[in-house]
Structures are given as C-alpha cells and as structure tokens.
Amino acid sequence: MTATHVGPAAPHAVAADDPLVIGGRRFASRLMVGTGKYRSNDEMVAAIGVSGAEVVTVAVRRVDLDRTKDEGVLYHLDPSRFFLLANTAGCYTVDDTLRYARLARAAGFNEWVKLEVIGDQESLLPDAHGTIEATRILAAEGFKVMAYTNDDLIAALRLEDAGAIAVMPLASPIGSGLGLLNPYAIRTIKHRLSVPIVVDAGVGTASDACLVMEQGVDGILMNTALAQAQDPVRMARAMRLAVDAGRDAYLAGRMPRREVAVPSSPTTGLLG
Amino acid sequence: MTSQLSAEAALALVVNGEPRTVAPGTTVGALLASLALDPRLVVVERNREILRDRDALGRIALEPGDVLEIVHFVGGG
C-alpha cells in the first residue's frame, strides 16, 4: 500500500501543565522522595537524581559520636541542588514533634517541615488530633507545615484551618507498599481543600503512583518504594514516568466507564 | 578527651545521652571541634534550648550538668 500522509506535518503540542506551587514556592517536580532505607548512599544519590525530584525529605537524629554509623545525609546530597524537607518521623507526642521541628529549622535551610505525629507504633498511623494541634502551634511560629495525615476529610479540613500549607494524606500505611486503598477519600480531600494535596506513604510500584496522580492530587511523596526496590534507580525512572503519566491522564480527563461494549470501528460499510 | 583531669577539675556533661567530661571553661564550639563535628552541619540543643547562633558557639562555656543534644539530618521519608 502506498503511504500517502495527509495529516498535519507535526504532532499537536500538548498544553503545558501548571507548575506545582506550595506555600508560594514553585517546584519543578510533582514527585517528592525520601532518603531513608537505601542499601547504599551511592544508590540513594543515583535514584534521587533519576527521579527528577526537587523536594527530598530528611529526618532529624542524634549524631553518632562514635561514628559507628554513616554520617549525615548532607555529606551525600548537595543541599543547593535539592529542597530539603525535614520530617518529624518517630514523634509520638506534640511536644516531641515541636522539638524536632524547631531543631530542623535551626539547621538553617528553610522553615518547612513535614509534620508527622504518629499515633500507633504498629500501624504508624497518624494521630490526627496531635497533628492538628502541632500544626497550629508551628504555623503560628512561622513554620510552613506540610501535614501528614489519614485519608480522612475532616482531619484534612482541620489541618487546613490550622494553617497547613499542604495536606499529605496517606495512600496506605508507611512502608506498606499496599498502594492507594481509598481513591474516593483522596479525591474528596482534593476536591474540598484549597491547599495542595500531596499523597504521602503507601505507594509500592509505578501503577500505584499513576493511580494516585489520576485522582487529581498535586503531588506524591515516596521513599520505600524506591529504596527497597530490587533496582532503585530503574524504579525511580518508572516512578517519574508514572507520575507524569498519571498527571497527564488526570488533566486529559478519562472516558466514562460503561457496563456495555461500544465498538471502536464503524458499524457501517461492512461487506455484504 | 580529658580523662587525665581529676574528678574535681573535670566538668561532667551528658552528650547525646552519654556521660562525658570536659575541662572547665570548654565552650560548645570547642566540644564540637573535639568531636570533629562541622558546626554548619549540626544543631546543638543545650538543656532543651536550641543554640541558634552558630557564630556564638565558641563563646558559650559549658556548665556542670549540662545536657546536650547534637543532631543532624539523616536519611528519612
């Protein structure tokens, strides 16, 4: 058959997405990544580089004075290349959370904190009440609080009221890799809040990340899905593509679901 | 560090949960230096108060019974 191309000379350009803006700051990527649990620092640096993430989370811990453990993460990650987002992981009380957040700010990079008040050691599920209280106190001190929380609309609304600049509902428990358990809850939170929604925790593989982004949320934060993949660098690329794919699919608007088949090819012009 | 000092002369502290002794007059900055810590990469909390001014660390003398926490950023999610 002779190929007679009569279509447009160039493919249509796809309109650019709006940039992600949180707390008045513009971010280059909707994918944010943690720095924990990698098998080596080299692997961490490579995976984070490939992920394209700008926001990287770090934890505040005692310096090991005997140097039996690895040195701080800043020996490996250039803080001028990334936006450091300190977390309060491991805090179970409001007082501890405030202490860790204030120590993190004193490090001098920024006044942002990924606030976690954990309510239960086994499930690592957040204590919504404590998180709301800590958010109110830290926001009043000038912190920019990104608040980790359950996929609960009321908690999310209260966090927004308390001054969170972003709310971070979980997809499923931290480190579980169970993926997005309640798409409806995440969509509802996104629909009802004005501040950006960044889903945090629970993503296991690329399809999970894609599904999260298809709900219309503003971003996603993950750590274990990269760090504990067999090949974190390749998984980082998969996640970058999945986040972009999910975002594009959301912006494109999916076709309606139907319970019956509808043919894609013409039903006229069939041979007699 | 200062184990050669007598118990009377040594100044007892708790640093990151561990007892330590330093010579009287030792500053926070000198303690960090003796631990080979870069003051730009750590944050020091002394008796629950964060020492925010890094430039002042070399002027803050440690007191007997001081409880210090020296923290930094580690990998986390």
pTM: 0.89
Q: So where are chain A's domains?
A: 24-62+73-252
| Res. A74 pLDDT band, cuts 50 70 90 | confident
Instruction: Looking at the complex, report in whole angstroms how far the Cα of residue B7 sits from the nearest Cα belonging to chain A.
Output: 23
Cα diameter, chain B: 46
CATH of region A24-62+73-252: 3.20.20.70
| CB atoms closer than 10 angstroms to residue A31 | 28
Q: What is the pLDDT of residues B14-51, one digit of tens each?
A: 999 999 999 999 999 999 999 999 998 999 999 999 99
Q: What is the pLDDT of residues A97-122, one digit of tens each?
A: 999 999 999 999 999 999 999 999 99
Quote the DSSP letter at residue A114.
Answer: E
Q: So where are chain B's domains?
A: 11-71
Q: Determine contact: A101 vs chain B, CB below 8 A.
A: no
Query: Tokens in use for B46?
Result: 């002394």
Asked if the model's pLDDT at residue B7 lies above 60, the reply is no
Whole-complex ipTM: 0.87
Mean pLDDT computed over every residue of chain A: 94
Cα A109 from Cα A141, distance rounded (Å): 16
Residue A33: HSE in the Cβ half-sphere, 13 Å Cα cutoff: 32
Quote the DSSP letter at residue B67.
Answer: E
Instruction: Looking at the complex, report in whole angstroms how far the Cα of residue B3 sits from the nearest Cα belonging to chain A.
Output: 17
Q: Which residues of B touch A58 (CB under 8 A)?
A: 73-76
Q: For A103, which of B41, B71, B74 is closest by C-beta distance?
A: B71
CATH T-level topology, domain B11-71: Ubiquitin-like (UB roll) (3.10.20)
Answer yes or no: do B73 and A107 touch at CB < 8 A.
Answer: yes
